[in-house]
Amino acid sequence: MNTTIESFTQLELRAPILQALSDVGYETPSPIQAACIPHLLAGSDLIGQAQTGTGKTAAFALPLLNRIDLSVKNPQILVLTPTRELAIQVSEAFQRYAKHLPGFQILPVYGGQSMVVQLRQLNRGAHVIVGTPGRVMDHIERKSLNLESLTALVLDEADEMLRMGFIDDVEWILSRTPETRQTALFSATMPDRIRRIAHRYLREPQEVKIKSATTTVTAISQRFVQLGVQHKLDALTRILEVEEDFDAAIVFVRTKTATVELAEKLEARGYAVAALNGDLTQQLRERVVEQLKRGTLDIVVATDVAARGLDVPRITHVINYDIPYDTEAYVHRIGRTGRAGRAGTAILFVTPREVRMLKDIERATRQKIELLPLPSREAVADRRVLQFTQQVEAVLKSEDLSFFLDVVRNLEAAGEAELHEIAAALAFLAQRERPLQLPPAVGRDIADIAQGRPERTERFERSERFDRTERPARPEHASRENREQILERRRDYAEGKLERYRIEVGRNQQVTPKDIVGAIANEAGIESRFIGQINLYEDYSTVELPATLPEDLLAVLRRVRIRQFMLGIRRLDEEESRRDAARKRPGFSPKPSDKPRKPFRDDRRPDFSGAPRKGHGGKSRT
């Protein structure tokens, strides 16, 4: 492995490709990239033992793109992948890296996609084809895929193709490509059959294997969370809220851009956080480290390179927000905690495709990494209540409260309320920035998704919980409802019965439909699939939400703010709904000022990780 390559500029890549790398924010080549790119640039065949997450896609895409001839419209590079998902992912990666190659065309081809469309696209020409073996075979047989100009072939995740029974197809395709081609084979493991294929079809291949560092890291407790990429931000904030012994954390991500984006999102949620990446001058870097040491900052979001050698004893947690490329990087990362003989905790976020890397890390560190169940919303709320109680107790012990006692005595003397009611009102005021009651989730909670638990009627569980702790239920709280009603409501959600609601923000307040979806999804936990059409007007908007939104959730939503403006949500009455619907009908021409904007529909999952909307992000820490 070549460890001396620290920057992409040391590799002989063309300027447009270096520019694209700078755009995506890659700071330094990953080990597999540093090792493979020079060989592939030199035209050698290559066997790379590497898996998803190591950066292997760029390891072959960059050098192969480097020599593409844009004037030749026939496929010059063919990448075979075991699944359509990987085919799409690889195509997207190529596209990102080829952003500054004018006229560059790539075509993913896989089963399940319309043959007619594919034939038309192939006819138009593409420089790179990424496909699953079956569909690529089809096209070769139909002569719709012309491989005459092919100069390079990549077998991606070869062991997966073997496991899925595609290996004969792969050999069939290999035997029909020009012998002059350059071939790269990537595989996480090297079963005999793959070795034999490599031996038969590759010419004096260079072998690259990312070595696994084996180290023992006993002072550090290692845990992992399995989750989807879209849940990372929510998971991180929950973990930061409930982790005991939390003092300071370093959060590792892959790109410079990600350091800045994540730091901004955490800052919007009230954390004292900064980004640390290779773009910072030495002076700025030192300042960040100094602030972390002093406690002016609690969290630093960093890339591997920027955090090298960081020695801050108060770091209690290392969060691997993006999995490292290899075990060596993992060991380096977690070594940022557990310093000066203290205990430390390392938490690794693992998406389903990265489970293999988790196993490698366990092997390399000779330690089992325990599953960390994601804290539920209740656990977060319980933690907040506990911290709040502790703060109150501390103030009672240490502060001179005489002035405030007078204020309370005056309130009591007014005779409007009992002392405990006054205290409750004060507690209510004190928790507004960081609510002690979290709104119930609508749809599956991420903690349940992470644990593979089925959907549950959370509101029902919450009411049970209140009964258990004998907290008085508020009159409108779910504890009054019987199970039947709750189940009925869920059925309504499932059937997608939507009703129109009015919110008191509109175009004049410069809100966008994305702001509205984000605020509702984040603050009320309503998944975006339960949020329907949004119409923006001058001073208000209407939004379709589940018909059966419970009163307590509406109460939460009423107070949510977008750009400092309170939503003040309410259901439209029948007449208003009718008018609103009529305005959307073709043929209706509202006054120019009242014309609804193009209806907005977002069937994708909410972007929980989206940029924070100013004005309604609750502080997460007091």
The residue among 58 and 101 lying less far from ligand AMP, judged by its C-beta, is: 58
Is the alpha carbon torsion for 439, 444, 446, 447 positive or negative? positive
Cα–Cα distances in Å, from 548 out to 5, 42, 522, 600?
59, 64, 19, 21
The residue among 543, 512, 532, 537 whose CA lies nearest residue 590 is: 537
Binding part of the chain for ligand AMP, among 25-33, 147-155, 185-193, 470-478 by CB under 6 A, reads 25-33
Task: Tell me if 502 contacts ligand AMP by CB under 6 A.
Answer: no
Buried b (16+ CB within 10 A) or exposed e, 477-507: bbbebeeeebeebbebbeeeebbbbbbbbbb
The residue among 33 and 463 lying less far from ligand AMP, judged by its C-beta, is: 33
The residue among 255 and 533 lying less far from ligand AMP, judged by its C-beta, is: 255
Task: Tell me if 29 contacts ligand AMP by CB under 6 A.
Answer: yes
Under rule CB under 6 A, which residues in 96-125 are in contact with ligand AMP? Answer: none
Judge contact between 151 and 77, C-beta under 8 A.
Answer: yes
| # chain residues binding ligand AMP, by CB under 6 A | 13
The residue among 54 and 345 lying less far from ligand AMP, judged by its C-beta, is: 54
CB of 149 to ligand AMP, least distance (A): 26
Q: Which residues does 196 contact at the CB level (< 8 Å), separation at least 6?
A: none
Tokens of 413: 């003397």
Task: Tell me if 351 contacts ligand AMP by CB under 6 A.
Answer: no
Tokens of 194: 């793959």
Residue type, 322: D
Task: Tell me if 254 contacts ligand AMP by CB under 6 A.
Answer: yes
The residue among 24 and 547 lying less far from ligand AMP, judged by its C-beta, is: 24
Q: Which residues does 478 contact at the CB level (< 8 Å), separation at least 6?
A: 440, 459, 460, 462, 463, 486, 550, 552
CB of 57 to ligand AMP, least distance (A): 3
CB of 52 to ligand AMP, least distance (A): 4
Task: Tell me if 26 contacts ligand AMP by CB under 6 A.
Answer: yes
CB of 32 to ligand AMP, least distance (A): 8
CB of 357 to ligand AMP, least distance (A): 9
The residue among 22 and 508 lying less far from ligand AMP, judged by its C-beta, is: 22
Task: Tell me if 52 contacts ligand AMP by CB under 6 A.
Answer: yes
CB of 99 to ligand AMP, least distance (A): 13
The residue among 333 and 477 lying less far from ligand AMP, judged by its C-beta, is: 333
Compute the residue count for the chain: 622
Task: Tell me if 58 contacts ligand AMP by CB under 6 A.
Answer: yes
The one among 30, 316, 376, 541 contacting ligand AMP by CB under 6 A: 30
CB of 40 to ligand AMP, least distance (A): 14
CB of 330 to ligand AMP, least distance (A): 14
The one among 13, 40, 54, 462 contacting ligand AMP by CB under 6 A: 54
Task: Tell me if 256 contacts ligand AMP by CB under 6 A.
Answer: no
Buried b (16+ CB within 10 A) or exposed e, 32-47: bbbbbbbbbbeebbbb
Task: Tell me if 53 contacts ligand AMP by CB under 6 A.
Answer: yes
CA 151 remoteness from chain centre: 36
Tokens of 456: 């549950």
Alpha helices in 51-191 (DSSP H): 56-66, 84-97, 115-124, 133-141, 158-163, 167-174
Binding part of the chain for ligand AMP, among 50-58, 228-236, 442-450, 614-622 by CB under 6 A, reads 50-58
CB of 225 to ligand AMP, least distance (A): 18
CB of 252 to ligand AMP, least distance (A): 11
The one among 31, 55, 108, 513 contacting ligand AMP by CB under 6 A: 55
Judge contact between 333 and 210, C-beta under 8 A.
Answer: no
Burial of 75 (0-12, 13-18, 19+ CB in 10 A): buried
CB of 590 to ligand AMP, least distance (A): 45
Judge contact between 99 and 20, C-beta under 8 A.
Answer: yes
CB of 55 to ligand AMP, least distance (A): 3
Site string for ligand AMP, 422-461 (x = CB under 6 A): ----------------------------------------
Task: Tell me if 277 contacts ligand AMP by CB under 6 A.
Answer: no
CB of 97 to ligand AMP, least distance (A): 10
d(CA 184, CA 36): 10
The residue among 93 and 170 lying less far from ligand AMP, judged by its C-beta, is: 93
Fill in the DSSP letter of residue 532.
-
d(CA 37, CA 138): 31
DSSP-assigned beta bridge partners for residue 348: 224, 320
The residue among 266, 243, 471 whose CA lies nearest residue 379 is: 243
Angle at 44 between CA 77 and CA 25, to 5 degrees: 65
CB of 583 to ligand AMP, least distance (A): 43
Tokens 């020409």 found at: 125
Task: Tell me if 255 contacts ligand AMP by CB under 6 A.
Answer: yes
The residue among 57 and 620 lying less far from ligand AMP, judged by its C-beta, is: 57
The residue among 52 and 345 lying less far from ligand AMP, judged by its C-beta, is: 52
The one among 56, 135, 232, 502 contacting ligand AMP by CB under 6 A: 56
The residue among 6 and 245 lying less far from ligand AMP, judged by its C-beta, is: 6
H or E segment and range at residue 402: helix 402-413
Judge contact between 287 and 314, C-beta under 8 A.
Answer: no
Tokens of 57: 């896609």
The residue among 26 and 349 lying less far from ligand AMP, judged by its C-beta, is: 26
Binding part of the chain for ligand AMP, among 29-37, 178-186, 387-395, 491-499 by CB under 6 A, reads 29-37
Q: Which residues does 103 contact at the CB level (< 8 Å), separation at least 6?
A: 70
Is the alpha carbon torsion for 229, 448, 315, 223 positive or negative? negative
The residue among 541, 553, 530, 548 whose CA lies nearest residue 501 is: 541
H or E segment and range at residue 71: none
CB of 219 to ligand AMP, least distance (A): 29
Task: Tell me if 57 contacts ligand AMP by CB under 6 A.
Answer: yes
CB of 129 to ligand AMP, least distance (A): 18
The residue among 30 and 76 lying less far from ligand AMP, judged by its C-beta, is: 30
Name the residues that contact ligand AMP, by CB under 6 A: 26, 29-30, 33, 52-58, 254-255
